[in-house]
Amino acid sequence: MQKIGESISKTARLMKSRVTKYAIVAVLIAVVAVIIATLANAYFIYHSISLETIMRAQQENITLWVIDAMPFLFALWGQYASTMIAYETGVMVVDQTHDLREQATSLEHQAQYEATHDPLTNLPNRILLRDRLDQSVHAGVRDNKRFALIILDVDHFKEINDTLGHYSGDRLLRRIALRLKGTVRDSDTVARLGGDEYALLLRNIKGNNDVKVIVNKVLKAFQEYFLLDGMKLVVQVSMGIAIFPDHGKDADTLLQRADVAMYVAKNEKSKYAIYSPKFDSHNPKRLTLMGELKQAIDNQELAIYFQPKIDVCEGRMKIQGVEALARWPHPEHGIVTPDEFIPLAERTRLIDDLTYLVIKKGMQTLVNWHNRGLKIDIAVNISPSTLLNYDLPDVLTGFLANYDIEPSFITFEITEGTFLKNPPRALEILNKLHEMGISLSIDDFGTGYSSLAYLRKMPVSEIKIDKGFVIDMLENESDAVIVKATIELAHNLGMKVTAEGVETKEIALKLQELGCDRLQGYYFSKPCSEKDFLSWVESRIKKRL
């Protein structure tokens, strides 16, 4: 503040000294004018220039008096003008600085708000919840106070979402947020952790009974149906509860244990469960997996399986590329499939590191193949949260430079949910990736709520029809209609179409007949290790596909 004040008075002084300089020049010009006028008067009226004639001219010629006054008038006017200009400059600079400071503060607040709140429900997000949990832990230790963390998950939300569509699903999530906020005190926090998962942080809890009172309020709030598009919807929830300090003395442990309790409540259909150490034996795999997954990623132990994507080009088939699919070779559980650990990684924010590892290992393998003359593409699955992270383009640029790979060999498979989470940001990042030369593909097409308006805006070059429509398309007429319509839609938008889940020759031929560009599925090959993939390629080359 003091600095700004100093700079304003410096600017004002500068302006003042400039105006003074011009005023001095004006005074000098006026003095010269007085001298010339006096000399001219003396010469033309008295026909000689001497001290006497100059004095006479000055005494007898009244017009000279007016000219004589000019230097004084200019000096006075200069002083006045410089003071006024300096004052006005000061006022203008103060006004502008004030406006700029207000704008900067409001932008800062907005950015801070967006980083810590869920855009759909306006509730605090996972980051802010963690922050409040940390604060509560400090306060709890200092004042010897207890608090409770409840993780609440909506039962069968996926089915609701699939049936009603994402738009109604989102509205339901907002309504749930409103009901939850109504059940707690103002000092408590209701947060959205992502998807259909919420958290309640209840401060100043005396015993388990206090928690049960609130849990019962929440259950009561959900007894009332939701009215959505004229439909009466009864929504059920499962809650897991962890209490500080009994069940954990830090934010991570509390979050993990409330999560374990929530799964127990869900499995036992008991609506809610307060954490107990015996739950760990109910769910040993899940609990240990959480800790081990981070280690497996840090130690780069995750493996990649490859599944070919076949180009159907004028009746001939050729390998266009592979999809990289993560696998976790676990010492006790064997190969753990992504359905088990990807949701876990997404919940614990490990998903970014996992994705970067898959991209890195995928690129490494691709370089080997390219060196051997197998010039094919690689597709990597990118979760919505990783795609919406501004880090992705920079991390990728580093990898591309390191492995010296043309970006056109890389495809990112993203789901429709990516656009819905944060459309402007998704568009910004997708455009950046597209400009870098990366191909983009919409995965699991048909399972989410896709708006044509979004689809046309996104720089996407491929649509992958979800395997759910492909597997039964010969028996199920409505699946066949969807497949056919999707192929036409994609072609109208200038995109390629890949059908996944091609399990039989008949389906492959039918898809070819419908004009599908690429095929992927067990009929050609299951996802397999690099070694098995290369043997498959060799056998295919022998058989000429």
Residue ranges that bind Ca ion, judged by CB under 5 A:
381, 413, 443-444
Residue 337's binding partner among ligand C2E, Ca ion, none (Cβ under 5 to 8 angstroms by kind) is ligand C2E
Is residue 503 a contact residue for ligand C2E (CB under 6 A)? yes
* Phi, then psi, of 107 in degrees rounded to 5: -65, -40
Closest distance to ligand C2E from the beta carbon of 243 (Å): 34
How far apart (Å, rounded) are the C-alpha atoms in residues 370 and 93?
62
Residue number with CB closer to Ca ion (413 or 416)? 413
Long-range contacts (CB closer than 8 Å, 24 or more residues apart) made by 330-335: 330/289, 330/292, 330/296, 333/285, 335/303
Residue number with CB closer to ligand C2E (184 or 363)? 363
Give the residue, chosen from 125, 307, 439, 441, that forms a contact with ligand C2E under the rule CB under 6 A. 307
How far apart (Å, rounded) are the C-alpha atoms in residues 242 and 262?
10
Closest CA to 442 of 370, 381, 388, 513: 381
Is residue 326 a contact residue for ligand C2E (CB under 6 A)? yes
Q: How many residues sit close enough to ligand C2E to count as binding (CB under 6 A)?
A: 23
Residue number with CB closer to Ca ion (196 or 500)? 500
Give the residue, chosen from 43, 46, 399, 522, that forms a contact with ligand C2E under the rule CB under 6 A. 522
Residue number with CB closer to Ca ion (121 or 411)? 411
Closest distance to Ca ion from the beta carbon of 283 (Å): 28
Give the residue, chosen from 196, 259, 416, 443, that forms a contact with ligand C2E under the rule CB under 6 A. 443
Give the residue, chosen from 128, 153, 501, 533, that forms a contact with ligand C2E under the rule CB under 6 A. 501
Is residue 444 a contact residue for ligand C2E (CB under 6 A)? yes
Cα 297 from chain centroid (whole Å): 23
**Where does this chain touch ligand C2E (CB under 6 A) — which range of 26-34, 274-282, 331-339, 396-404?**
331-339
DSSP calls for 386-416: HHTSTHHHHHHHHHHHHHT--GGGEEEEEET
Residue number with CB closer to Ca ion (332 or 339)? 339
Centre a 10 Å sphere on the Cβ of residue 219 and count the other Cβ atoms it contains: 15
Listed in sequence order, the DSSP H helices in 299-350 are 338-347
Locate tokens 């800062």: which residue? 108
> Which residue's Cβ lies closest to ligand C2E?
521
- The tokens describing 63, both together, are 């017009």
**Where does this chain touch ligand C2E (CB under 6 A) — which range of 4-12, 275-283, 454-462, 498-506?**
498-506
Within 137-187, strands assigned E span: 147-154
**Where does this chain touch ligand C2E (CB under 6 A) — which range of 223-231, 234-242, 335-343, 398-406?**
335-343
**Where does this chain touch ligand C2E (CB under 6 A) — which range of 88-96, 313-321, 332-340, 423-431?**
332-340
How far apart (Å, rounded) are the C-alpha atoms in residues 355 and 42?
98
How far apart (Å, rounded) are the C-alpha atoms in residues 98 and 85?
20
DSSP calls for 184-195: S-TTSEEEEEET
Give the residue, chosen from 355, 411, 441, 447, that forms a contact with ligand C2E under the rule CB under 6 A. 355
Closest distance to Ca ion from the beta carbon of 472 (Å): 16
Is residue 441 a contact residue for ligand C2E (CB under 6 A)? no
Is residue 527 a contact residue for ligand C2E (CB under 6 A)? yes
The single-letter code of the amino acid at 219 is L
Helices H / strands E in the chain, number of each: 21, 16
Give the residue, chosen from 218, 238, 521, 537, that forms a contact with ligand C2E under the rule CB under 6 A. 521
Say if CB 391 and CB 301 are below 8 A apart.
no
Interface with ligand C2E by CB under 6 A: which residues? 307, 325-326, 337-339, 342, 355, 358, 381, 383, 413, 443-444, 467, 500-503, 520-522, 527
